Structure 1
Amino acid sequence: MTLLKLQHVQRVFNQNSANPVIALKDINFSVEKGEYVAIMGESGAGKSTLLNIIATLDQATSGQAVLNGQSLNNLSKDDAARYRRQHLGFVFQHFNLLDSLSNRDNIYLPLVLAKTPVDVMDKRIKPLVNRLRIEKIINRFPGEISGGQQQRIAIARALITNPDLLLADEPTGALDSNTSNEILELFDDVNANGQTIIMVTHSAAAASHAKRTLFIKDGRIYHELYRGDLPLKEYQQQISQVMMTLTNGGE
């Protein structure tokens, strides 16, 4: 089942000025329910712009973006905010936790904003506490735990709404290699349980955990790789080779 479909998506900034900036030229791809897709490309290739359009934080200048039957084009600001709360989960590089709230309350936050009953929140958090191994830190505060633990809390916050799509923006960018591997293994587990994931990353090691990797160059999908049955290291090598070609300006 196709969950997300982008057709001829273009994003132009300063469109009516003398010097418009074309961030996305002609993006076409789809994501099936349950897929795990990584998006890579050099700085300025359009990765963040693409993620923002999927996240309803920005709108395409032309083309269509449809998520689970809902067109993301021309949503009002209020409708977009409501749609994000109900259908999307977000994991960021710098966690974006509120220091004034306990870890438990940080996880509850999107449900609180949606005015979800307390008993429903309590029911939803229990399996996440076990799966993400955050039992010992759930009642502490973000400033009292490590970066890797903070990212676990952020992942729980993203998943507690049961989102159609989990969007991760450089989720291991602020972590050391050992902690990054732990977080990526959590993503593997979350995806194995049926969660659809799109991850933007500059790391070939991170992208190698995905089932498919899309490469963006000059505002277009330049290439894609499927992992298939390849071991992580072999898939990582293939990703690195494509990125090297991109960096060297190859076609």
Structure 2
Amino acid sequence: MTLLNLQHVQRVYNPNSANPVMALKDITFKVEEGEYVAIMGESGAGKSTLLNIIATLEQATNGQAILNGQDLRQLSKDDAARYRREHLGFVFQHFNLLDSLSNRDNVYLPLVLAKAPVATMEERIKPLIDRLRINKIIDRFPSEISGGQQQRIAIARALITHPDLLLADEPTGALDSNTSNEILELFDEVNANGQTIIMVTHSAAAASHAKRTLFIKDGRIYHELYRGDLSLKDYQQQISQTMMTLTNGGE
């Protein structure tokens, strides 16, 4: 079943000025439930703009962006904020945890904002503590744990709302290679449990964990690769070769 459907999406900044900027020119693709999709491209290609539109942080200037039957362009600012809380999970490069809250309260935060009952919070956090292996750190504070552990807490916070879609923006960008591999393996496990994931990354190693990789160039989908039965190593090599072609201006 199609979860996300983008059709001819454009995003123009300052459209009425003498120098409008077209960040996205024509983006069309679909994401099925349970997919794990990576998005890659050079700096300025439109990756962040695309993620912001899917995240309801920005609206497309033209085209359709439909997530689980909801036309995102039709959401008011207040409705978009509510939609994010109820349907989307976010994992960021720099974790975005609140130092004044315990790790447990950081995980609870989206449900607190949604005014969920305490019993619901306690019920939902239990499987996450086990799955993400955070039982030893859940009642400590972000300043007391490592970067990789902070990202585990951030993933738990993203998943506690049971989101339709998990959006990850450079989730391993602030981590060393060993810790990055641990986090990517967690994403593999989360996806294997049915969670749909879209990850923006500059790392071919990170993208090789996805089942499909979209490459953006000059505001358009330049190419896409499917992992299929390829090993991580072989898929990473294909991704790297495609990025090299893209960077060198190949068509």
Q: Aligned partners of 1:199, 1:247: CA distance in 2, in Å?
A: 20
Q: Which residue of structure 1 aligns with residue 172 of structure 2?
A: 172
**TM-score, length of structure 2 as denominator length:** 1.00
Q: Which residue of structure 2 aligns with residue 4 of structure 1?
A: 4
Q: What displacement does 1:75 show?
A: 1.3
Q: Which residue of structure 2 aligns with residue 27 of structure 1?
A: 27
Runs of 4+ with >2 A deviation: none
Q: What displacement does 1:244 show?
A: 0.1
Q: Aligned partners of 2:242, 2:120: CA distance in 1, in Å?
A: 45
Q: Which residue of structure 1 aligns with residue 109 of structure 2?
A: 109
Q: Which residue of structure 2 aligns with residue 198 of structure 1?
A: 198
Q: Aligned partners of 1:77, 1:143: CA distance in 2, in Å?
A: 33
The residue type paired with residue 175 of structure 1 is L
Q: Which residue of structure 1 aligns with residue 135 of structure 2?
A: 135
Q: Which residue of structure 2 aligns with residue 151 of structure 1?
A: 151
The residue type paired with residue 21 of structure 1 is V
Q: What displacement does 1:74 show?
A: 3.2
Q: Which residue of structure 1 aligns with residue 247 of structure 2?
A: 247
Q: Aligned partners of 1:246, 1:177: CA distance in 2, in Å?
A: 25
Other structure's SS at 1:179 match: helix
Q: Which residue of structure 1 aligns with residue 75 of structure 2?
A: 75
Q: Aligned partners of 1:5, 1:210: CA distance in 2, in Å?
A: 19
The residue type paired with residue 234 of structure 2 is E
Q: Aligned partners of 1:235, 1:21: CA distance in 2, in Å?
A: 34
Other structure's SS at 1:25 match: strand
Q: Aligned partners of 1:75, 1:57: CA distance in 2, in Å?
A: 11
Q: Aligned partners of 1:181, 1:81: CA distance in 2, in Å?
A: 32
Q: What displacement does 1:20 show?
A: 0.3
Alignment of 1:117-132 (within 5 A): 117-132=117-132
CA deviations over 1:174-224 (Å, ceiling 9, x no partner): 000000000000000000000000000000000000000000000000000
Other structure's SS at 1:73 match: helix
Q: Aligned partners of 2:135, 2:89: CA distance in 1, in Å?
A: 21
Q: Aligned partners of 2:159, 2:25: CA distance in 1, in Å?
A: 32
Other structure's SS at 2:190 match: helix
The root-mean-square deviation of aligned C-alpha atoms, in Å, is: 0.3
